[in-house]
């Protein structure tokens, strides 16, 4: 998400009123933990009416009460525990005592870690990610459309800013559809509670970091979703928001301390200029506003220099992986976070889950800008971010140029070639997530003018290029619209609601063109799923000539040739230039049509793309 926010004096006064209404022991977070973690330390955040005036008493073999922190707000205690490697799973009381008053008791549980095969396994270049906005995909449980006690009630599918009722069960019910399509991983926009008065269906204004939004389901149902995905060979990516939180969350309404969020004399937005973070000549004031300015009035900017905030966020994210078994994290608004904290966060998360994958949203405008945020200090940043990959928006823009713009020395298809030529900037470019659209931008079909040939070419490039490909829900059935406003690109998946006119989860509910598009994606996605050359193979590209861009993906098993004609006219090309990769072969399998064709020369339509598996001479 890309906007920001701030807490006014009136909000602070309102928070004081709220604090007088909370129970004596309102919550303890993390609610439970595990023995055998790599990091033996855990910091509990305890919230309750004047809980800070109480002493903490606990006794359990292997658990040491290291320190109790009293902070500015008397409604909080931060409790440091150290859990030795020999500690056994079990439950024990934590007592909050005060002279002359009854002790408050919280039963704290330490669980055994789940080391089942397939948990936190990572999402890699072998996968195809399918991005889903839960509220807009499918409604399988109308009973949770409106939940008592939440600030926004009911659903209204006629309004783009209202909730529409999609839920986790709706996703579970359509996992077979996704598996058939060739999807191997799903990424949900945040399913965590967003209890804002309006327009929080997108999930990026978190109000309870430890709770699935009840309009989507429960924590247990989320855990079941992950388990069901694993059972059928699919993975799950969880969307995290470090940078900001919804203003209706308890830590914002009743902040532990003034430095919990970034405070300004008056409401101040970010300048949204990532260059201020990397510019060696940048004004400190510009850099501060970029990092500390708010995204939106309903999204408080978290102060990641505050060690209590750091512990709160890092432990929460570790908790979700151990609890649910998710396979990867997508990190929202990555450039707006404190750089040193994010590096420390990544080290701590990977220490617990070595195979977990992580990629950050970096919607910037050059490959160098993207690489600045990635691991390895490859662009002389001065320290290692430990961020394996980014959302490769620069690649996306280059594909749009290749499909829509006139060819020039650095324009059109040559821009795509040049972007790929800059892969030397990354420690490992195959960990970048490549995509054509998402929930924050215009849909791919609309950007290419609803030109079906361009659509197919874009899909072909997405599913054959290096990196981790990601599709947006409905791309395969030709969903369209421009992000003006963004609600137009977050429409309901047809058939996800009882009574929908069309059910495009089924072939019978799709039109001829939608079925053609679905089958085109399905054919390529499943071919990719079974072709290691497109997953982990090397890439060799050739400088475009006469608007024709050719690259190869290859390994010891197969060689795949991809030919894209960016011109507005049909062309016939000789393949002699590519002999070093064709290696004497004269036949190839057209992956889409299944035909075997002669490749001494190739005829290719305007704006079209061929995906060809080279057949060695002894195989045809």
DSSP tag of 493: P
Class of domain 9-112: mainly beta
- Selected from 1.10.3720.10, 3.40.50.720, 2.60.40.1180, 2.60.40.1220, the CATH number assigned to the domain covering 538-619 reads 2.60.40.1180
DSSP tag of 132: E
Rounded Cα–Cα distance for residues 324 and 356 (Å):
13
Contact 291, 297 (CB under 8 A): no
Contact 244, 136 (CB under 8 A): no
Rounded Cα–Cα distance for residues 426 and 404 (Å):
27
- The number of angstroms, rounded, from the C-alpha of 186 to the middle of its chain's C-alpha atoms is 9
- Of the candidates 140, 142, 226, which has an alpha carbon nearest to the alpha carbon of residue 187? 226
Question: Is 375 a catalytic site residue?
Answer: no
* Each residue's pLDDT tens digit, 22-36: 999 999 999 999 999
Strand runs (DSSP E) across 453-509, as ranges? 468-472
The encoded tokens of residue 546 equal: 């006469």
Rounded Cα–Cα distance for residues 578 and 558 (Å):
16
Specify the 3-state DSSP secondary structure of 249: coil
CA angle 591, 595, 598 (to 5 degrees): 100
DSSP track, 326-386? --EEEETTGGGS-HHHHHHHHHHHHHH-TT-EEEE----SSHHHHHHTSTT-TT--SS---
- Of the candidates 202, 182, 181, 180, which has an alpha carbon nearest to the alpha carbon of residue 192? 202
User: Residues 346, 351, 352, 354: what is their CA dihedral angle, to the nearest 10 degrees?
Assistant: 90
Rounded Cα–Cα distance for residues 385 and 364 (Å):
17
Rounded Cα–Cα distance for residues 142 and 162 (Å):
15
Count of beta carbons in the 10 Å neighbourhood of residue 526: 16
Question: Is 72 a catalytic site residue?
Answer: no
Task: Report pLDDT for 3.
Answer: 37
Rounded Cα–Cα distance for residues 393 and 434 (Å):
7
Task: Report pLDDT for 8.
Answer: 45
Low-confidence ranges of the chain (pLDDT < 50): 1-17, 19
Task: Write down the catalytic residue from 304, 332, 338, 392.
Answer: 332
Specify the 3-state DSSP secondary structure of 585: coil
- Of the candidates 154, 135, 136, which has an alpha carbon nearest to the alpha carbon of residue 212? 135
Task: Report pLDDT for 20.
Answer: 53
Q: What interhelical angle do 219-231 and 307-324 show, nearest 10? A: 50
CATH code: domain 129-252+300-393+431-529 is 3.20.20.80
Task: Report pLDDT for 21.
Answer: 81
Q: Which residues contact 292 (CB under 8 A, 6 or more apart)?
A: 262, 264, 270, 301, 303
What pTM value is reported for the model? 0.96
Q: What interhelical angle do 393-404 and 452-464 show, nearest 10? A: 140
Task: Report pLDDT for 13.
Answer: 43
| 9-112 and 538-619 in the same fold | yes
- Of the candidates 547, 563, 546, which has an alpha carbon nearest to the alpha carbon of residue 597? 563
Rounded Cα–Cα distance for residues 57 and 96 (Å):
6
Task: Report pLDDT for 318.
Answer: 98
The encoded tokens of residue 287 equal: 């850099």
Alpha carbon separation from 428 to 182, 422, 432 (Å, rounded):
25, 12, 8
H/E run at residue 76: strand 76-83
Rounded Cα–Cα distance for residues 614 and 581 (Å):
9
Rounded Cα–Cα distance for residues 153 and 163 (Å):
9
* Each residue's pLDDT tens digit, 372-407: 999 999 999 999 999 999 999 999 999 999 999 999
Task: Report pLDDT for 617.
Answer: 83
Rounded Cα–Cα distance for residues 575 and 588 (Å):
12
CA angle 273, 274, 276 (to 5 degrees): 80
Q: Which residues contact 382 (CB under 8 A, 6 or more apart)?
A: none
- Of the candidates 383, 388, 316, 389, which has an alpha carbon nearest to the alpha carbon of residue 352? 316
Task: Write down the catalytic residue from 152, 193, 248, 361.
Answer: 361
What are the residue ranges spanned by the domains of the chain?
9-112, 129-252+300-393+431-529, 538-619
CA angle 216, 222, 223 (to 5 degrees): 165
Instruction: Give the length of the chain.
Output: 620
Phi, psi of 414 (to 5 degrees): -70, -25
The encoded tokens of residue 103 equal: 């002790």
């Amino acid at each position: 998400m890309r906007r920001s926010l701030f807490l006014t004096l009136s909000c602070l006064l309102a928070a004081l009123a709220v604090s007088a209404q909370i129970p004596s022991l309102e919550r303890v977070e993390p609610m439970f933990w595990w023995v055998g973690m790599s990091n033996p330390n855990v910091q509990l955040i305890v919230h309750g009416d004047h809980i800070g005036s109480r002493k903490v008493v606990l006794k359990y073999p292997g658990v040491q009460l290291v320190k109790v922190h009293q902070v500015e707000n008397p409604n909080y205690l931060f409790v440091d525990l150290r859990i030795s490697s020999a500690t056994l799973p079990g439950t024990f009381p934590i007592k909050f005592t005060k002279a002359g008053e009854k002790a408050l008791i919280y039963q704290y549980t330490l669980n055994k870690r789940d080391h089942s095969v397939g948990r936190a396994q990572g999402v890699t270049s072998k996968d195809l990610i399918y991005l889903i906005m839960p509220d807009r995909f499918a409604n399988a449980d109308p009973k949770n459309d409106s939940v008592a006690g939440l600030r926004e009630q009911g659903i209204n599918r006629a309004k783009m800013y209202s909730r529409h009722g999609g839920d986790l069960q709706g996703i579970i019910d359509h996992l077979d559809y996704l598996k058939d399509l060739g999807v191997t991983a799903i990424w949900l926009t945040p399913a965590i509670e967003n209890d804002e008065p309006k327009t929080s269906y997108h999930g990026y204004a978190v109000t309870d970091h430890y709770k699935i939004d009840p309009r989507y389901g429960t924590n247990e149902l989320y855990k079941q979703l992950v388990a069901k995905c694993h059972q059928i060979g699919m993975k799950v990516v969880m969307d995290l928001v470090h940078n900001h939180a919804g203003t209706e969350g308890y830590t914002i309404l009743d902040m532990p301390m003034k430095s919990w969020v970034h405070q300004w004399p008056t409401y101040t937005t970010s300048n949204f200029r990532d260059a201020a973070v990397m510019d060696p000549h940048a004004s400190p004031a510009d850099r501060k506003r970029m990092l500390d300015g708010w995204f939106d009035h309903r999204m408080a900017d978290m102060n990641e220099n505050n060690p209590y905030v750091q512990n709160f966020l890092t432990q929460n994210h570790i908790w979700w992986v151990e609890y649910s078994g998710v396979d990867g994290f997508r990190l929202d608004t990555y450039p707006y976070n404190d750089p040193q904290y994010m590096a420390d966060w990544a080290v701590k998360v990977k220490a617990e889950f070595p195979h977990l994958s992580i990629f950050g949203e970096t919607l910037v405008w050059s490959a160098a800008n993207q690489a600045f945020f990635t691991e390895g200090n490859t662009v002389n940043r001065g320290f290692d971010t430990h961020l394996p990959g980014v959302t490769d928006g620069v690649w996306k823009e280059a594909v749009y140029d290749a499909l829509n713009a006139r060819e020039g020395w650095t324009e059109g298809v040559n821009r795509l070639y040049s972007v790929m030529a800059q892969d030397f900037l990354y420690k490992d470019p195959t960990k970048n997530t490549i995509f054509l659209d998402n929930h924050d931008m215009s849909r791919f079909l609309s950007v290419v003018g609803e030109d079906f040939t361009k659509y197919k070419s874009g899909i072909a490039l997405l599913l054959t290029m290096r990196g981790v490909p990601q599709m947006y829900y409905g791309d395969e059935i030709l969903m369209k619209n421009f992000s003006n406003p963004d609600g137009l690109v977050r429409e309901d998946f047809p058939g996800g609601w009882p009574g929908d006119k069309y059910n495009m989860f089924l072939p019978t509910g799709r039109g001829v063109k939608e079925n053609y598009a679905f089958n085109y994606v399905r054919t390529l996605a499943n071919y990719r799923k079974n072709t290691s050359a497109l997953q982990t193979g090397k890439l060799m590209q050739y400088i475009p000539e006469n608007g024709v861009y050719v690259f190869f993906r290859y390994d010891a098993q197969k060689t795949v040739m991809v030919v894209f004609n960016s011109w507005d006219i049909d062309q016939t090309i000789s393949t002699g230039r590519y002999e070093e990769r064709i290696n004497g072969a004269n036949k190839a399998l057209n992956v889409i049509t299944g035909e075997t064709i002669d490749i001494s020369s190739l005829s290719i339509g305007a704006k079209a793309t061929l995906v060809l598996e080279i057949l060695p001479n002894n195989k045809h």
